[in-house]
Structure 1
Amino acid sequence: MQSLSATHAKSLLLLSTILCTLNLVVTEQGFCSAISSVTDSNSNCNPLYSKVINPTLNPSHLQDLPGFTRSVYKSDHALITPESHVFSPLPDWSNTLGAYLVSPAMGAHFVMYIAKMQESAKSGCPPKDVERFVFVLQGSVTFTNVSGVGQTLMVDSFAYLPPNSEHLFESYESATLVVFERRYAYLENHVPEQIVGSTDQQPLLDTPGEVFELRKLLPTSLPYDFNIHIMDFQPGEFLNVKEVHYNQHGLLLLEGQGIYRLGDSWYPVQAGDAIWMAPFVPQWYAALGKIPTRYLLYKDVNRNPL
């Protein structure tokens, strides 16, 4: 009987190992859907963008090393990594902690921050003539515009609010947002409109000479003075163009890992890392690791640099 019990135990152990291996293979093939992360609580697949909310250091033995950070700030770029985030109450928001990752103090003409909304949290309004873009990273929020119409925004959903437009974001449970704000550059006879959508609703665009997949979350028309891009790379893919241009960038790595060149420096990066790129800093990216890379990228557009 002991021999049969031992054999049975070994069989169960082998079956468990096989199932774990199969689960690992499945979850490493690509992104988990936002739908499964919200509706299927029994799924073994991590929620979309979970590593932005619960980042890990790599290698893990550096996780608790006193004084260790991968964050870097230079005159023409910055890498802000999760272990150096400093959260404090977000001005004019209720029950919300914020961490500013990019601001004019760096030399940027926009701000980028993480907003962690707690239960029953509410957003504040940006300053006068400031436009706002909100992208949901975790949980869900209710968005209400000046007309009083409410919409639920899930993970991977976004909203663009023109300057001086009344609106409100509310969370009934915890939610995490990444927010971009900048003073709108007015252009005569052109007025931007409110935009609400989700990444999967945006079409893939042609990228001549490049291999990555590109989606633009805002219209490319003149009323809009910036855009937000979602860029997807398969492991091993990289930018062909070594970019040097007058536009500024704010970037949040949503999934995956890789190497980013900024100026003369080369940085290992992973989900949860944020980057600011000043005008004309040389920039280049290659995706590494076993899962695809996805990042969200701010870019100023449609205005003469003079």
Structure 2
Amino acid sequence: MAMALRPIDNALPTTPERPKKQAKVSVPVQKQPDSGVNDENRAPLPPPSVDATVDYVPSENLKPIQDPESNIQGLIEGLNSKDWIKVCESLNNARRLSLYHSSLLAPLLEKVILVVVKAMKNPRSALCKTSIMASSDIFNAFGEKLLESTNSDAFDQLLLQLLLKASQDKKFVCEEADRALNAMVKSMSSLPLLHKLRGYVSHGNLRVRAKAAVSISNAVSKMALEEMTEFGLVPLLQMAADLMNDRLPEAREAARRIVIAAHKAFMEKEEQEAWESFCQTNLSTIHAQSLFKVVSSQ
């Protein structure tokens, strides 16, 4: 006799079994040998440190060029080369030409200045330093003629880059830029230089303000009262009074030197009472008092 089957309507539903999670498998990747060729799917290799391959030749050790006429023909091409070492070599040739063959370099001076500015912006420290050294030799060789032989904008770009490089953290670049700024002040008349520098004492970068203030104080120390008056003795003293409240000690010390130089020049023509009267008449009481304090503390 056949057995009756039990209905399964009331049976508990069964939970479907979850699929097993697949285990992660580490597949070793064989490191590809460096063939020196950049794969388009790989980041390019960082450039090797090459500063040691560049010679930073002091100006006094530079020698004249044997055949300057031939060298000058390829100078601009070398300066615009994509090979940065070639650019450094051309910058050193520009230095030699400026010191020993300046008449040949003069017609190309503006083009050279623009390349110097471009090289200063380069992240390679060797190229940056070589270009700063080139600017020092150009200042020493051409002096006043630099403003006459170049577009005003080219000189302004050069000045800004030197102030920026003198304000950065890389010590050997900063020191080289300081030397270039000193060469600029020594080789050029103070009056046109002050007009170029005056805008930078209100620059947003406090280090740039300080470096500009130092250059201004060095330029003012060379000036007679007549030149200061031509520039504007009141604006000069006002500038110094403002800088004495600057955040950086370097800027404040430069401001003190400006006041002392202006007072010394003034006293060669006038008496102390005239100095005090001049300051009280043309400056605010607070600024006049700060100038008097500087002079009395000498």
| TM-score of the pair, normalised by structure 1 | 0.22
Higher relative contact order (CA 8 A, sep 6+): 1
Which one has the bigger helix percentage? 2
Larger radius of gyration: 2
Which one has the bigger strand percentage? 1
| TM-score of the pair, normalised by structure 2 | 0.22
